[in-house]
Structure 1
Amino acid sequence: MTDTTNPNTSSAVGGLLKGETILVTGGARGLGEAITRAAVQAGANVVVDYFHSEEKAKALETEYAGRVTAIQADVTNEDDVARLFHDAKAALGTLVTGVVNNALVSFSFNGDDRPKADTITWQDFEHQLLGAVKGSVTVIQQALPGFEEAGYGRVLNIGTNLFQNPVVPYHDYTAAKGALLAVTRTFAQELGPKNVTVNMVSGGLLRTTDASSATPNAVFDIIAQSTPLGHVTTPQELADAALFFLSPLSRAVSGQNLIVDGGYVKG
């Protein structure tokens, strides 16, 4: 039985994703790893895309032998992504029916060490836009032929609650995720007739991922004190919410952005 009182315990429902093949970009570490594990526990086969995290990706492949396939690809490179889908189908013999655009180009969530409005460069913005927008669009475009063959598809983009509550100067990161939200809604409109849903889940600072490991404990404590549920959201909690959008339960939901942060941000 799942311990629902423990925020670090997954509530993944066995069989919810049975028969699905899910691609998780950046799926070997942090939030991506949590989504990979939750999807496997829910019955899916998972393709873990990784860039540099080969050791962690291969460890997941070994741990979930026959259920997880690890493939290296740079999501900002069209040829890499085309190869990713080709190799995934060759390895699994099944179509990818859902994608999670989670890959994050190098970024550290430490507000004290981020460039402010008077020093941030356009190159900083380009760097984040390349990963969040180009990477996601490229993955979706390569997924579409398989979605059409399967007769349906699920796209889940990872956003941020900083849209609503920009309390730290992550200007480039927040702008890129804001653009990805726009892509989420416009793609949902166009791809709906193909029976493809496109949604977003937006967490706050997660405790803890590689990207948030630089965050001072005092910041986590402040967030926990201001959160109705009384703790900082974990990667596992966000991953559980992601399962809904990857499953048939969300078949009538598209173009939406769900905030998963324990009630910290409203609306």
Structure 2
Amino acid sequence: MTTALRGLDDQVVVVSGGARGLGAAISRAFLGQGARVAINYHSSGAAAHALAAEFGPRAVAVAGDVRDRARVDAVIAAAQEAFGAPVTTVVNNALIDFAFNGDARAQAGEIGYRDLAAQFEGSVQGPLNLIQAALPGMAEAGFGRVINIGTNLFQHPVVPYHDYTAAKAALLSLTRTFADDLGPRGITVNMVSGGLLQTTDASAATPPEVFDAIAAATPLGAVTTPEQLADAVLFFASPWARGVTGQNLIVDGGLVKG
């Protein structure tokens, strides 16, 4: 089946964790292109409502823990009610209780399975809930775009983020298997994987010397920003990517190859 063409300004988008950091950059990027965006949040209500207020009727803030399927169903329903159209595009960005500070993370001899399970709940269960909740609307629209947020630590595991990296690796697998399963319905599923971003709430705990070392190691001589990664998310949602699915695009200034 050839996927339908639908411009960014004709899409109804849900961005999980869309109120702060990378999520806010993604929400702003879609809104800047004329899309209608439901800014999902769990604990950042003030930030979500402030961001939505900037863009008037094309944005709405919607509360919901992505780990709770009933709440996710309510998020999708609220988006559809607000915009009078089915959700066509979901961005799985929400990050559950994690700070990017290698010195503070549990080492291999210390980490417990519960630490991994907590990240799986956010990075696998959350996207699974959101994709499944949005599928009926995508089927109604005859069009669907799923963009998952990953990490370059699959290829370059230089810090002991064991739980985070394992969960995101599982999400990459889900990206590829769902791409195969949903492709016949006109739905593409892709991943954008950044490195450390400068700066988000999650990376605020990162020591300055780490940012300096990363910048020095990249061909571009700089640490990737949330806005630069958001550009790649827009690509996968846009008509320019209509023939692309099951892919993982690394956006880290060239630090990791392949």
Range class of TM-score, shorter chain: over 0.9
% identical aligned pairs: 58
Residues 16 and 42 of structure 1 are in contact (CA less than 8 Å); yes or no, is this contact kept in structure 2? no
Render the CA deviation track for 1:44-83: whole Å, top value 9, x for unaligned: 0111000000000000111111111100001010100111
- Which residue identity lines up with residue 141 of structure 1 in the other structure? Q
Partner of residue 139, structure 2: 148
- Which residue identity lines up with residue 117 of structure 2 in the other structure? E
Partner of residue 164, structure 1: 155
Partner of residue 138, structure 1: 129
Structure 1 Cα separation of the partners of residues 78 and 145 of structure 2: 20
Structure 2 segments unaligned to the other structure (5+ residues): 1-5
Render the CA deviation track for 1:133-174: whole Å, top value 9, x for unaligned: 000001000010001000010000000000000000000000
Residues 1:44 and 2:26 aligned together? no
Residues 1:253 and 2:236 aligned together? no
- Which residue identity lines up with residue 119 of structure 1 in the other structure? E
Matching residue within 71, 84, 88 for 1:97: 88
**TM alignment of 1:214-233, pairs within 5 A:** 214-233=205-224
- Which residue identity lines up with residue 146 of structure 2 in the other structure? V
Structure 2 Cα separation of the partners of residues 203 and 226 of structure 1: 15
Partner of residue 52, structure 2: 61
- Which residue identity lines up with residue 52 of structure 2 in the other structure? E
With structure 1 as the length reference, what TM-score do the two structures score? 0.94
Task: Give 1:211 shift.
Answer: 0.2
Partner of residue 204, structure 2: 213
Count the aligned residue pairs. 253
- Which residue identity lines up with residue 152 of structure 2 in the other structure? N
Structure 2 Cα separation of the partners of residues 176 and 239 of structure 1: 21
Structure 2 Cα separation of the partners of residues 155 and 196 of structure 1: 7
Task: Give 1:21 shift.
Answer: 0.9
- Which residue identity lines up with residue 241 of structure 1 in the other structure? A
Residues 1:109 and 2:97 aligned together? no
Partner of residue 7, structure 1: none
Structure 2 Cα separation of the partners of residues 239 and 139 of structure 1: 19
SS in 2 for 1:201: strand
Task: Give 1:248 shift.
Answer: 1.5
Residues 1:239 and 2:230 aligned together? yes
- Which residue identity lines up with residue 109 of structure 2 in the other structure? D
SS in 1 for 2:223: coil
- Which residue identity lines up with residue 153 of structure 1 in the other structure? G
Task: Give 1:16 shift.
Answer: 5.2
Partner of residue 122, structure 1: 113
Structure 2 Cα separation of the partners of residues 192 and 151 of structure 1: 11
Residues 48 and 57 of structure 1 are in contact (CA less than 8 Å); yes or no, is this contact kept in structure 2? yes
Residues 16 and 43 of structure 1 are in contact (CA less than 8 Å); yes or no, is this contact kept in structure 2? no
Structure 2 Cα separation of the partners of residues 39 and 264 of structure 1: 26
- Which residue identity lines up with residue 106 of structure 2 in the other structure? P
Partner of residue 9, structure 1: none
Partner of residue 168, structure 2: 177
Matching residue within 185, 194, 209 for 2:185: 194
Partner of residue 3, structure 2: none
Structure 1 segments unaligned to the other structure (5+ residues): 1-14
SS in 1 for 2:249: strand
